[in-house]
Amino acid sequence: MRDVSKALVGAIVVFAAYYLGLFAVSAMDLPIPGALVGLFLLLGMLLKFPKLEAPTARFVSFPLKHMSLFFVPAVLGVSIYWNDIQANALAIFIAIFVTTAFSLGFTAWFAQKLFSSKLDNSSDASQKGGDFE
């Protein structure tokens, strides 16, 4: 019974974040998906209230374990638009290639900056006689 109540609390948290995200996007006329805003709201709730982590994890564990089932409709939906995909194959390929290259390049640049600043901080600490572990 305790597991069911934890899952119910987790469901309330997840759906509340989702619908609050949808509401925020429609109320403020934002050009981003409501589900994405809901994810950020969920992240904020989990950071602000750490006790919600266990019930939320309990609720989302089943869908995450069986995520491949949720992609079946999307994969089947691609076949409906196959003519459009073929007609725009070059543009789709270029868009995917450019955005992937950009995101990988940006991630590498950001990680390099982040790690070099951490190395600089650790060398400063070791020069002052402090132990950095």
Query: Phi then psi for 26, rounded to 5 degrees?
Result: -75, -35
Q: Which residues contact 56 (CB under 8 A, 6 or more apart)?
A: 9, 10, 13, 14, 42, 46
Distances (CA, A) of 122 to 9, 72, 112: 43, 48, 15
**Entry pTM:** 0.56
- Burial of residue 46 (CB within 10 Å: 0-12, 13-18, 19+) is middle
| Residue environment code for 5-41, b if the CB has 16+ CB neighbours within 10 A, otherwise e | ebbebbeebbeebbebbeebbeeeeeeeebeebbeeb
Domain boundaries, the chain: 1-65, 86-133
CA distance 105 to 92: 20
pLDDT in tens, 16-61: 999 999 999 999 999 999 999 999 999 999 999 999 999 999 999 9
Q: How confident is the model at residue 131 (pLDDT cuts 50, 70, 90)?
A: low
- Residue 25 in 3-state DSSP? helix
CA distance 92 to 82: 12
Q: Give me the residue label for tokens 């989702």.
A: 18
Residue 125 is predicted with a pLDDT of 58
Higher local confidence (pLDDT), 115 or 132? 115
